[in-house]
Amino acid sequence: MKKPEYKRILLKLGGESLSGKKGFGIDIQKINFIAKEITEIKELGVQTAVVIGGGNIFRGQEGSEKGINRVSADYMGMLATVINALALQDSLEKLNIETRVQTAIEMKAIAEPYIRRRAIRHLEKGRIVILAAGTGNPYFTTDTAAALRAIELNTEAILKATKVDGIYESDPLKNTKAVKFNNLGFLEFLNKGLKIMDATAISLCMENNIPVIVFNFNTVGNIRRVVFGEKIGTIVKGE
């Protein structure tokens, strides 16, 4: 029987992936779909950490642009990620999957504080670890949080879930003739100024040789295909 290509991964979910067609808030059907897809790779024995965004509820940068102090806006965005993490935890636990939510900002009543060794132990025990509140610092995106946690937890790859099937030279939802990249080097990604993941996150991955696989999470079974090493989406890695 074929074995998964990766034993431990970090799944980066944008907050928008939880909102479904509405584009905001939490769509229960969509979050249940996500939970089932995660359950499938968990049952293959793949240790899975999840970093989740909060853009479906509040995005710090947008709040700042509307006049909210940037630091306050970013903290509000971090709190939004915690709401999403609790929603995903609930959906996973209804499928009898053991989970732990860990937050970069302490909130003992609802989640564990992020402690690297504890998170690794949970992964080793087969629990899904959902990491919320970004890095706990303003001015850093959840993409950067994903890169940082992937390094700390010794994951073999970051799987960045999106609504398109990889990285394109321009937005394929707006430009039907946009060219897709199947493979990109880290420096090539940075030089092209691609926006699907921020430069700080990509630089961290480059320095620590952690590949990033960008794929369409809306297609049933895609995350399974990725962990088995099938050539879907776009892989960004060292030269």
pLDDT in tens, 38-79: 999 999 999 999 999 999 998 888 888 889 999 999 999 999
CB neighbour burial string for 96-134, b if at least 16 within 10 angstroms, e if fewer:
ebebbbbbbbeeeeebbebeeeebbebbeeebbbbbbbb
- Mean of the per-residue pLDDT values for the chain? 93
Output the pLDDT for position 43: 94
Q: Angle, to 10 degrees, between the axis of helix 70-93 and the axis of helix 28-42?
A: 70
pTM for this predicted structure: 0.94
164 three-class SS = coil
Residues 157, 211 contacting (CB under 8 angstroms) = yes
Output the pLDDT for position 107: 96
Q: Which CATH superfamily is domain 8-237 in?
A: Acetylglutamate kinase-like (3.40.1160.10)
Cα angle 189-208-195, degrees, rounded to a multiple of 5 = 25
152 three-class SS = helix
- Long-range contacts for 59-67 (Cβ within 8 Å, ≥24 apart)? 59/15, 60/138
Output the pLDDT for position 195: 84
**pLDDT greater at residue 96 or residue 165:** 96
What amino acid occupies position 113? P
Return the minimum-mean-pLDDT range out of 96-100, 173-177, 184-188: 173-177
Domain boundaries, the chain: 8-237
For the segment 124-164, what is each residue's pLDDT rounded down to a tens digit? 999 999 999 999 999 999 999 999 999 999 999 999 999 88
Q: Of 56, 66, 62, which is closest to residue 74 (Cα–Cα)? A: 62
Output the pLDDT for position 171: 81
Output the pLDDT for position 17: 87
For the segment 19-40, what is each residue's pLDDT rounded down to a tens digit? 877 778 999 999 999 999 999 9
Given a cut of 80, whether residue 1 has pLDDT beyond it is no
Output the pLDDT for position 176: 81
* Other Cβ atoms closer than 10 A to 138: 17
Percent of the chain with pLDDT over 90: 79
CA separation for the pair 130, 52 (Å, rounded): 7
- Mean pLDDT, residues 226-233: 93
Given a cut of 80, whether residue 239 has pLDDT beyond it is no
- Mean pLDDT, residues 101-123: 97
